[in-house]
Structure 1
Amino acid sequence: MHNIFYAYVVFRCAVSPAGDRIYVTNYFQHKLLTLATDGTVISSFTDPELQGPRGVNVTPAGQVLVCGFDSNTVIQVDREGRKKLATLDSQKYGAINPVSVCCNTHIHQIIVGLISNNKIIVMELQ
């Protein structure tokens, strides 16, 4: 039997509301890539609070939410994928190893899926 190492270049992706940007998480390089629809790299975002990014979601307003699996964080990035807008207080809710995120703007909540304890958490938007 052989040990096979899979390098996840594209872990998850999401598309902007206008359809003009594609956001891709790269787990092993700790990056959020923002691409044009033709695949051209618009930006490459890294941050100490974004380690092992997995889940990514785009709000209807175009803000990007990214799960830092290894950093136990959920961060918000601008639509250009260049600047962190906020780190959500996910530790308060017990967000250990977040892998998926979505935003329900109708009821002002962010839902985060966790792999470590097989649960989801719901955070209220401020």
Structure 2
Amino acid sequence: MSPSGDKIFVTNSDRDKVITLARDGTVLCTFTDPDLKLPSGIHATALGKVLVCGGSSNTILQLDGEGKKKLATLATRSDGLNEPQSVCYNKSSASIIVGQTSVANILCLK
């Protein structure tokens, strides 16, 4: 959910999409990108950015606060990602915490 509570961000892993919904369930926009395959975990930061895991693309993407466009690829396999499934931004440590499927560790990216 967005920090203001007016948007809900949902991943559709079957179709490689991020869907932004209004609180009433109305679809506001749909995001797709070649760098996002099998999206799973999603997190809206307090600053209004959206982080999403690409489970089979081994990426963490940063989207704008509307979920409409990619701002950056924050991490890839070369950063140690191995089927990322969950993501969270920790403001206190200024780090991105990633849970992964194929390895028994949590990755902390600064």
* Bin of the TM-score, shorter chain as denominator length: over 0.9
For the aligned residue pairs, the C-alpha RMSD in angstroms reads: 0.8
From 83, 92, 104, the equivalent of 1:118 is 104
More strand by share: 2
Q: How many residues align?
A: 110
Give the alignment of 1:55-66 within 5 angstroms: 55-66=41-52
Unaligned runs of 5+ in 2: none
Q: Which has the larger radius of gyration?
A: 1
Find the residue that maps to 1:92 and give its secondary structure.
Answer: helix
Matched residue, 2:27: 41
CA distance in 1, matches of 2:35, 2:64: 15
Identical amino acids, percent of aligned pairs: 50
Q: 1:107 aligns with which of 93, 99, 102?
A: 93
Quote how far apart the aligned CAs of 1:62 are. 1.0
Shift >3 Å, 4+ stretches: none
For residue 52 of structure 1, what is the aligned residue in structure 2? 38
Q: Could you give the per-residue CA deviations for residues 60-109 of structure 1, whole angstroms, max 9, x where no partner exists?
A: 01100000001000000001111100001332331010000000112110
Distance in 2 (CA, whole Å) between partners of 1:118 and 1:50 is 23
* TM-score using structure 2 length: 0.97
1:77 to 56, 63, 84: 63
Q: Which residue identity lines up with residue 62 of structure 1 in the other structure?
A: G
